[in-house]
Structures are given as structure tokens and as C-alpha cells.
Chain A
Amino acid sequence: MTTLPQTTHKKLGLVIDLDTCVGCHACAVNCKEWNTGGYGAPLSDQDASGEASGSWLNRIHMFEVKPGDAPAQVVHFPKSCLHCEDAPCVTVCPTGASYKRVEDGIVLVNESDCIGCGLCAWACPYGAREMDAKEGVMKKCTLCVDRIYNDNIPEEDRVPACVRTCPAGARHFGDLADPDSHVSKLSAERGGFDLMPEQGTKPVNQYLPPRPKDEPAFNLADLAEPTGQKGLLGWLDNALARL
């Protein structure tokens, strides 16, 4: 079994805005193309020209919400590793391959120690880990650890691939241990929440809830016909005179 660090210096993670995510899958695909040639084994695809299934570190789910007294809503829900403080995937690992970095809290799999037993995926309540069918090692979001500190990448681009590519700007990256970071402030302002807090995993990633929908924009009366001015054409004469 593997131990978690008592604390980490930073808590790097994502803030994902469910009010803004249009469900376009850009983050998932860009993640796949960055990571298949990057950290660890490729994200392989099986029966690639047939039924096609492969390893992904980020997937977008869609849910219908049916409020009952209002129109049904659709929520797009991107899901990847949440880099939990109390990560059960780490403590369950029999070889020490799964670990949480002391420096920044990123949860990684050291693939050379991974025996592909799958316990970590079983322990993760979020289904955020996927076994690569070709290599037999566990794949998961690395928060693009090979981008965010990479001297070969322009400084402004040292963010996870999903964040850099997100067209709607629904994904934010930063240090959630620092209350003054933009992600901490954003999460505080918008009511960022833990996914499934009852699991006690203390996820670092935060989700911003969708804003209320289908409510009037303003408290306005309906447009009234102009009165005392002989209807529209009377109004028109007066209005033109004022121009």
C-alpha cells in the first residue's frame, strides 16, 4: 500500500465551469493528442477501424436535468482525475506506482512500477482512470506535468493542453492552495463545489455550477402600446418631432 503526503506545497488543479462548457469535446481530444506522444505509454486504440475504443484521460458526459416545472436542461460534464487530497487510488496501490507529488499535489502513475492490477481504478469513485489495453498500465490525467514546467514551451502555454485549447474558456488551471490565485477566487465567487464530497476524497479540482436557467432576464412589464398619442402613428409623429 502506498502513502499519501501529509500536505503538498501546492494544490494544482482545474476549475471547470459547467455554466460555460458547450460540450464540444475539444479538451478531451486535445488531451489525447498531447498525451499519446507524451508522458508514459501511448493512449492506444483497439479495433480502431471497427468498434473503436481506446484510452482517454478526459471524457465529456452529458446529462439531462428535468426540473419538473421548467424545461429539461442539458449539462455537459467533463471528467478527468480530480487530483484528490485523500486519493484512494494512491493508498490502494500495491506497488507504489500511484503517488501524489509533494511539490504540487499532482497524482501520477509511475508506469514502470505499475503491474496493471486495476485496484486504483476500482478505488477511484469517479471512474477517472483507464487501463491501457495494449500496454496494460493504468493511464490517468497528469495535469500535463510535462507541459506546465516545460522550458521548451513558451511560458504562457505552460498549462494543461485541455485548458489551452478550450474554445469557450470553461477550463481554468492554477493553485487551489493559494486563496489569492485566480482559480481560488473564481471558485469562491461562483460557488465552486467538490464532486461527490461524501466520498471524502477531498478533490482538488472544482466545478462551477450552471447558473439558473429559464428565468426572465429582467423584471419587466410587457411592452405597452403607446397611449394618449392616437396609437402607433400618433406616437410616431411625436417621436419624429423629437429627433
Chain B
Amino acid sequence: MPKDELDLSPKVSDEIRQTTCYMCACRCGINVHLRDGVEGRKIRYIEGNKDHPVNRGVLCAKGSAGIMQHYSAARLKAPMKRVGPRGSGTFEEISWDEAYEIAAGWLTPIRETDPSKLAFFTGRDQSQSFTSWWAQQFGTPNYAAHGGFCSVNMAAAGIGTIGGAFWEFGSPDWDRTKYFMIFGVAEDHDSNPIKIGIGKLKERGARVVGVNPIRSGYNAVADEWVGITPGTDGLFILAMVQELIKSGNVDLDYLIRYTNAPYLVVDAPGEPNNGLFARDGDDNILVVDRDSGKLVAAGDTKRPALSGEVRHKGQTLKPVFQILAEKYSGEDYSADAVAERCGIKAETIRRLAAEMAHVAFKEEITIDQPWTDWKGEKHEKMIGRPVSFHAMRGISAHSNGYQTCRALHLLQILLGSVEVPGGFRFKPPYPKPSTAHPKPHTGHAPNTPLDGPHLGVTHGPEDLQINADNSARRIDKAFSWENPISAHGMMHMVISNAHAGDPYKIDTLFMYMANMSWNSSMNTRGVMDMLTDKDENGDYVIPHIIYSDAYSSEMVAYADLIFPDTTYLERHDCISLLDRPICEADAAADAIRWPVLEPDRDVKGFQTALIELGVKMGLPGFTKEGKAVYKDYADYITNHERRPGVGPLAGFRGEDGKGKGRGAPNPDQIQNYIDNGGFWMEHIPEEAKFYKPWNKAYQDWAVEIGLFDAPQPYVFSIYMESLAKFQLAADGHGDRQPPDHLRQRIKDCLDPLPIWYPPFEEGAVDLDEYPFHALTQRPMAMYHSWGSQNTWLRQIHGQNPLYVSGDICDQKDLKDGDWVKVTSVNGEITVPVARMDALNPKTVWTWNAIGKRKGAWALEDNAPEVTKGFLLNHLIHELLPPKGDGMRWANSDPVTGQAAWFDLRVKIEKTSNPDGVSKPNIPAQASPVGKGPDTLDYGEEWT
């Protein structure tokens, strides 16, 4: 255009619709600009919603690529039934009626005979409070989402120790913290809030320390990088704990008021109450009153002893703090002893501990805000210890991850920095005591709903979901002796166990948003074989597979029946307080998605499809007197009540739409959300903003808005008595006894105080043969296989070299572009190399979920994801190598069952790879959606 015709005020859009992003798990608010054109109304631009509590206007690369996701050529178009062999990808499109007919034809007989023959696992589902309710009504005990293969160690350790964890549970006090230490993070846990937070810290000049084997992303901008050796985070943390304890840099007042540090523990090895808290006749936990020296109930003195020991009824009792001081003062956890193993100099460990102590105790901050604790004591100020932490998969996806996460919480507690100004802050509905979570349920019977929620927290052997012979009641063996606190289930074990018929066979595997035949499984090749394996009659070992996805993923090829989902801009959803909320430390909040565009294909939001299927099967809760209770998911969101007056959405409740948290269903609720920008937010009163577990004003506010029904103050569990109960059982006490082969492991690993032990794979493979650690990271511009199909994002991370440390490159004479064979005890891959010096010297790594199977995702065969991209998953097994005892030992954390992705050990050798294609090169699947476009010029109609 000529210069003088330059239009400085062009029209942007015809309408802006505000909804919630789903380009990763972060759930930001977005403004979707829609503009009319020759092809009708299309997306002109997506930007962040400035009013939204999660992202405050900013938007990451993934969110900004939503246009390419929405119009992806890989979108499924209609329900399909398989017509070729499993894995081939050959399908025939069918009607929804026929799809429901087929599904009900498999599921109804299961429900009428044995509902546990259905395994229903929902992957990266953001509607778990609904999908779990569906599974409950169906009656199967076999339901979970993807938490077990993701970060359940983080969640379970946090819930058990402090009543919440990082990300959805809470966040650093970004506006006040002065010293921030971040451990390994899956980038979307939490995406934009961490970036916004780091930006704030940088602006204020606050210190950022990154602890990660790889110096990328947040670690690249950290003021200091601690390039730790994978799997040793717990050792590093406990060495810092030793430094703090030895030097007296712990917040004693905090420990006495807010933790179980003074509680007396029975020290009577061999006796049936060894390791439990000492209690009086009224079941009150005992402490020693420092003034009188007498045993009193914990609530009856403000001056309990923290050290020493007492004899009581012939037994020795010690305060938790005394046991803790003894445990961590020893040589095992000294900086000198751990330095080499952690790959961190002892002087660095000591200095970091000193820096933390300095900031916590010499740079204390105060807010002039009076508050009252739950015992009625008034406090004039809020005192803050401005040291904070964040961590995610890097420390949790190990077989020692649960205890490592506990160790990190112990460190925060000793510094007195949890739920204080400048420290770590909970987000509603957390804090929440672990006892307020449901317990797991597996009670099932024909034609009957399950006897309660599937998932939850176990507090001792009595809560395990096992049969009299110790066999697991769930297909994934969650809540069994193998992993007693597997709070999120174990999605990574479902296919393996179902194929092995261990603990039993199933009839139908029903999955949603879980690319199990590719990047969402360990042992990818093995999983493909299990999904296609046939029995002696020529029937598939897993007889039926139903899968729902919006896109032509690798898993689609393995399903018998496909429910095509919508894109995130075509659907109703609720980001619910009953589920995985989006609250902020200062506010409760929830949000919706709504169809800002109508689907142009014969697809339905998966949740609506579940409702229609539930109606067809006549599931309780879904039908009443033969009629549908909810016509679709939007109707459910509006009208479902979990407790009287409490439903999926907390905002705009009641007939007048003014109810906050509580109130009758409001027929206009979704429109009220739309009018409010797609979300609802209620701020926490000033006096209630800190010390939430112990703050009377917070507890009252939480009851008022329906987070819970009565105040539930609690103290932090430095010492976890529930773990001692499992240990006691392993020692032979009690009715429920673990199998003999697990006794020693339970005694060793379920320590009531945080410990470190080597990752299991280190004990199962020859470390001289497999000397290196191998990791994956999620790139900031990708969200699993969804991101790596996106035309714009693919141009950023279209292939994934194996990044090899400078040390290893020098040792093996490797340079960029060379090919290496990477071998683990489970398999081998052949992949391209890139040198990286900002990397732990014993480590190699790559981006996850970039590699794609030929034929999937509507990509061409020359896509670099297909030719050069690869998965490390082929090297990682869901089981540990056989020990020769005939048992199948899961490659998982022994407490929670979390998949130990990051325990992997490998060797690498230079190789020639004449065809330049990474290996294994899996044969193509047919594409039910054809191939994507050659040239794109999106937006051409408006320019």
C-alpha cells in the first residue's frame, strides 16, 4: 500500500469472546477475536485476558498458536469404528447413534455382571470431577486421570505434609519473596504464572536459584544454577536441612505453633505402637510441657518441649524435633558426604543454606495487619520469612520422589516460610488437611454405583484397596501394598496390567486424551504390542478399546471405536473448585469454556458424549424415570449439585445469581460467566490472606463460600504417622499384613520423616555399563503431542536432538549432527546429537513428545517429527528389570506409584546412520483425516 494510504486504525474484529485456553494445563483467560470474512466467521487473533487471575493479559507461545490448533487438519470429523486390524488406523465413519449403540453394547453387559471389567482413564482431562462421577455411577473401581504418571509424588507429599503442594495448590509470594529456589519443572505446571512471577522477581532484584540438571528456560535466567545430578535432589535438600539444624537456623516459634514438631513419638522398636504418637486416654496426642516437665495434651500448653526424651508407661517417648535433629545431624546427610553424588560442591551446599537462613531470619518482613488464630490468640502483625520454593516433575518423577518432595516441604517448614508473607502461599480450596480428602473406594457390584469416590488419601493399612489375599482391587494396583498412597491412580500401569491379566482381565479399555500408544506411555513399543496382542482364540487380549480425542493421534489407531472430541474453542467446560482449580493466593476463582465457535464437524465435547452414553445406558444420576437428567455438559455444569447448594461452578449461584460459592442452581449461570469474561473471582479478606491453616478469618471465609462446611485448622506433618503405620504392618503388627517380598521395602522407604535413597533403577542395572542419566523436558512452546502437531509451534521445535553434555561429547568424540545409539536395559534408539555444556556432566536429555508416528496427526511422511524426532519412552519400562523372583516390580515410587520416568540410566555410542532416520522407525498408520495443507496463508482474506 502507498505510504499515504497506511491505515493506522484497521478494524481488528467483529466480536471478542472470552473463554479459557487449553493449549496446556495452565488454563489462562483468553480474548478470542472473531472476524467475518469470505469463509464466514473466523478467528482473527487470540490474546490474553487482562482481568483473568491466572495470566493477567499475557499469553504464551502455545496460547498464541491456538488458531493453528483450532483449524488443525488433524481434527477428527465424525465417530468412527475400526475396520482394519488394530494399530492400522483404518476406520469407517459412523453416526453418533451407532457409536453409542456399539459402546452400550459392550458396557451394559459389563455393568450388569462385573463393572470392574471397564477401565476408564481420562488422561489430561480437565473435568475430572465430572468424569470420575460418571465412572462412579457406572460402578467401576477402575478410574483415574493422568496424575499417576505425572506428578502425584508432588501432590501426595504436599497434601500429607502441609495440606497442599505447588502449582494448583499454592505459589510463591511473588510480590514479596526475596529468595526463590526452583527445582525441575514441567513448564506448564505452571506456565504463565511462573513467567510473570520471575519477571516480578527480576524487576525487584530478588534472587533466583535454579536447581536442575539442565540450564534452560527458567534456569537460564536464574542468578545461580545448581546443575544437580538427577535423582539426588532429596540428598541435596536434606544436606541443607542439616546445615540449618546444626546452626540453629530454624523457626522454633513457627514449629511449636504450626507443626507437629513437639508431638511425642513412641520409641519402642518391635512393639506394636512403635513410631506412633503417644496419646492419652481421650486419644489426645501428648507433648511435654516445658515448665512442669509433665505430659499434657498437645493443645494444653503453649510451651511444649522440642528435645529430650521421657519414659511413660515403660516406653521411651521423644518429640518429633528431637528425632529429626538426630536423623539429619549424622554423616549421611553432611554436605561433604553428599557433594560428589549430587554433583554439587559441599561449599555450595553450605553457602546456599546460609543464604536461605540469612534471608529468612535477617531479612524478615512484616505486614501491619492484625489477625486472630484459631485458638483465639490475637497477633498484631503478619511476620514473613521471604524465602520460597517451587518444584514439579523434576524432583517427583523418581522412585524416591515422594520422600524428596516431603524433604522440600520440611525445608520450607524449618525456615517458617509456608503460608507467611514472602514465602509459599496456598490457593483456595487449599490449605486442606489430608484427613479432609476422601479415602479411596473400590466397592462394586452389578448394576450399582461405586460405594464412594475412586481416588483419595490413605492413612494406614486399613485404607488399602486390597482383597484378603493382598491382591489389588484396582486394575492399576493403586492403593495396594506396592504403592499404598497412590492418590491419583496409576495410568501408566493400566495397559500392562490388563494385558497381563494381573490382577485380573478386563473387557473394555475406555480412554480420553491419553496418547498411550505413543508419548504417554513408558515402553511405547511394548504398549503397541500389548494393545494388538491376541489370545489363543485369535481375539484381542484387551477385547474392546474406546478412545476419545479431538485429533488423529497415535492412540486413535489402536481404538475400536472413536468418540471425536471438539477443539477447546468449541466446547463447554468448567474449571471447577471441585476439581483442579485456578485460584490465586488472594482469591478463589473458577472459569468456563464455552463454544466461541460452533463445530463444523460431526463431533461432540467428550463430556456431552459421556452424558448421552450415560442416558442411553440408564446410569443412575443421568436418568430419572427413564428421562435424561442433563441434556448436555452445559446443563450439568449449571444444574448438578455435589452437596446442597454447591456445584461445579461457585460463582453467580442462587436464583438471583448473587450467591458466592453457595446457592441454588442459577439457570443463567453460564451466561453470567460469559458476561464476566469467562471467570469468577472472590477475593480473600485482608486479615485472612496469610497463615490460612490457622487463621480464624480465613477458616470462616472458606466455610462461608462453601470450600468446606466447618472450620478445619490443622498443623503441618513434619512427621507422618500414617507412614509409621505402614512400617508397623511391615514389621508384623496388625491384621493387614503386606506380602513378605514387600516388607523390607516398606520399612526402608515409608519412613515417617523425609529420607533419601537411591533411585530403584540404580540398584537394578549395572551402573558401569549404563553410566549416564537420561531425561526429557517439555519445551515452553509445546504441550505434549498436541503442541507438536501445530503448524506454527512445529517450526520452533520440529525435531528433538539428544542434548549431550560437553563431558560426554568429549569422551565419546561427538559433535553436533552425529548419530548415537542410546541403550538402556530395556531397549535402544538411534538419534541425532547436539552438544550442550550448560548441562550436568553425567546427563543427556531431549524434548518430550516431539517424535511422531508416520501417518499420525495429518503430517506428511517428510515431517522432521517423523524422520528425525524420537521418543525416549522406548527406553523406559513400566516395570523394573526382572529380579529373578518371578515378581513384576513396577518402575514407580513405592509410596505413590508415580512413574519413575527420570530414573532412566543409559549408555551411548557413536554410530553411523546412513538413512538419516531415527530408530526405531515404526511403520506408518493410515490417516483417517488425510494429510494437512501444503501452503498456509492464514488471514489472507483480511489483508
Q: Interface on A for B, CB 8 Å cutoff?
A: 17, 19-26, 28-30, 32-34, 36-42, 44-54, 56, 60, 62, 64, 66, 71-76, 99, 108, 110-113, 134-135, 145-146, 149-153, 156-157, 161, 164-170, 210-211, 213-218, 220-226, 232-233, 235-237, 239-240, 243
Contacts and interface: CB of A to CB of B under 8 A. Distances in A.
Contacts of B59: 26, 30, 165, 167
Contacts of B225: 71, 73, 213-214
Contacts of A74: 215-216, 219-220, 838
Contacts of A66: 837
Interface stretch (B2-10, B423-431, B560-568, B679-687): B2-10
Nearest to A166: B58
Contacts of A146: 7-10
Contact of A111 (B1, B191, B862): B1
A157 B31 CA distance: 13
A17 B837 contact: no
B245 interface: yes
A29 B245 contact: no
A107 to B, nearest CB: 12
B48 interface: yes
Nearest to A20: B202
Looking at A48, A161, A170, the one whose CB has the most chain B CB atoms below 10 A away is A48
Interface string B644-674: 0000000000000000000000000000000
B351 interface: yes
A33 to B, nearest CB: 5
Contacts of A40: 1, 943
Given A24-B195, A135-B937, A217-B224, 4 more contacts: A29-B792, A47-B934, A48-B933, A243-B303
Interface in B354-396: 354-355, 357-358
The 9 closest A-B pairs by CB, nearest first: A37-B939, A49-B932, A167-B195, A223-B247, A50-B860, A169-B199, A72-B837, A74-B220, A72-B838
Given A25-B781, A218-B358, A232-B329, A152 B11 contact: yes
Nearest to B12: A152
A235 B937 contact: no
22 contacts: A25-B61, A37-B35, A38-B939, A40-B943, A45-B935, A46-B934, A47-B934, A48-B933, A49-B791, A50-B861, A50-B863, A64-B837, A71-B225, A72-B836, A145-B6, A165-B64, A169-B202, A213-B222, A232-B248, A237-B307, A240-B305, A243-B256
B935 to A, nearest CB: 6
Contacts of A112: 1-2
Contact of A217 (B179, B780, B938): B179
Contacts of B252: 236, 239-240, 243
B790 to A, nearest CB: 9
A134 B202 contact: no
B217 to A, nearest CB: 5
Contacts of A26: 58-61, 63-64
B938 A72 contact: no
B612 interface: no
Nearest to B798: A52
A23 B837 CA distance: 18
B932 A48 contact: yes
Nearest to A133: B935
Given A17-B202, A50-B859, A73-B838, A235 B248 contact: yes
Contact of A152 (B10, B60, B249): B10
B192 A34 contact: no
Interface in B772-787: 780-781
A44 B939 CA distance: 9
B215 A71 contact: yes
Nearest to A55: B937
Contacts of B211: none
A205 B35 CA distance: 33
B55 interface: yes
B350 A222 contact: yes
Looking at B196, B794, B862, the one whose CB has the most chain A CB atoms below 10 A away is B794
Interface residues of B, number: 111
Nearest to A213: B223
A189 to B, nearest CB: 11
B688 interface: no
B864 interface: yes
B73 interface: yes
A207 to B, nearest CB: 14
A45 B353 contact: no
A47 B943 contact: no
Contacts of B45: 33-34, 37
A30 B47 contact: yes
Contact of B354 (A33, A56, A223, A232): A223
B44 interface: yes
Given A149-B9, A167-B60, A243-B253, A23 B220 contact: yes
Contacts of A19: 202, 221
A111 B943 CA distance: 12
A236 B307 contact: yes
Contacts of A113: 2
B3 A45 contact: no
B99 to A, nearest CB: 28
Given A26-B60, A220-B355, A232-B325, A99 B220 contact: no
A136 to B, nearest CB: 12
B215 A169 contact: no
B48 to A, nearest CB: 6
Contacts of B791: 45, 48-49, 52, 54
A221 to B, nearest CB: 7
Contacts of B940: 41-42
B218 interface: yes
A149 to B, nearest CB: 4
A70 to B, nearest CB: 10
B466 to A, nearest CB: 42
A152 B9 contact: yes
A53 B256 CA distance: 61
A221 B937 CA distance: 61
Contacts of B207: 217
A134 B351 contact: no
Contacts of B243: 222-223
Interface string B292-304: 0000000000010
Given A30-B59, A44-B936, A223-B244, A22 B355 contact: no
Interface string B902-940: 000000000000000000000000000001111111111
Contact of B792 (A20, A21, A32): A32
A12 to B, nearest CB: 13
Contacts of B932: 48-49
A226 B247 contact: yes
Contacts of B862: 47, 50-51
B325 A52 contact: no
B863 A38 contact: no
A37 B943 contact: yes
A151 to B, nearest CB: 5
A112 B192 CA distance: 39
A226 B355 contact: no
B192 A167 contact: yes
Nearest to A112: B1
A149 B938 CA distance: 24
B942 interface: yes
Looking at A24, A161, A166, A240, the one whose CB has the most chain B CB atoms below 10 A away is A24
B57 interface: yes
A19 B683 CA distance: 33
A28 B246 CA distance: 49
B203 A71 contact: no
Nearest to B348: A216
Contacts of B935: 44-48, 134
A169 B24 CA distance: 20
A165 B215 CA distance: 24
A215 B198 CA distance: 19
A223 B793 contact: no
B227 interface: yes
